[in-house]
Amino acid sequence: MNPLNSWNTFLSRDVNRPIKRSGDIVFSFLALTLGSPLFIFIALLVKLSSSGPVFYIQRRVGRRYTRFGCIKFRTMRVDADDVLSNVLEKSPSLRKEFERDFKLRDDPRITPIGRFLRRSSLDELPQFINVLRGEMSVVGPRPIVDQELQRYGEFMDEVASVRPGLTGLWQVSGRNNLSYTERVKLDLRYSRESSFLLDLFIILRTFGVLLLPMDRGAF
Lowest-pLDDT choice from 146-150, 193-197, 214-218: 214-218
Distances (CA, A) of 202 to 139, 141, 152, 216: 7, 11, 22, 15
pLDDT for res 14: 58
Write the single-letter amino acid at 56. Answer: Y
User: Going by DSSP bridges, is the β-strand pair 137-139/67-73 parallel, antiparallel, or unpaired?
Assistant: unpaired
Choose among 32, 68, 218, 39: nearest CA to 143.
Answer: 68
DSSP secondary structure letters along 15-79: HHHHHHHHHHHHHHHHHHHHTHHHHHHHHHHHHHHSSS-SEEEEEEE-GGG-EEEEEEE--B-TT
Taking the C-alpha atoms of residue 122 and residue 130, their distance in angstroms, rounded to an integer, is 15
Contact 123, 114 (CB under 8 A): yes
Taking the C-alpha atoms of residue 34 and residue 42, their distance in angstroms, rounded to an integer, is 14
pLDDT, tens only, 102-114 = 778 888 888 999 9
What pTM value is reported for the model?
A: 0.83
Taking the C-alpha atoms of residue 50 and residue 39, their distance in angstroms, rounded to an integer, is 17
Each domain of the chain, given as residue ranges in start order, spans 13-75+110-211
Contact 11, 198 (CB under 8 A): no
Residue with more model confidence, 208 or 29: 29
Name the β-bridge partners of 69: 59
Query: Is pLDDT at 2 greater than 50 in this prediction?
Result: no
pLDDT, tens only, 33-85 = 999 999 999 999 999 988 899 999 999 999 999 999 999 999 998 888 888 88
pLDDT for res 22: 93
Taking the C-alpha atoms of residue 108 and residue 122, their distance in angstroms, rounded to an integer, is 19
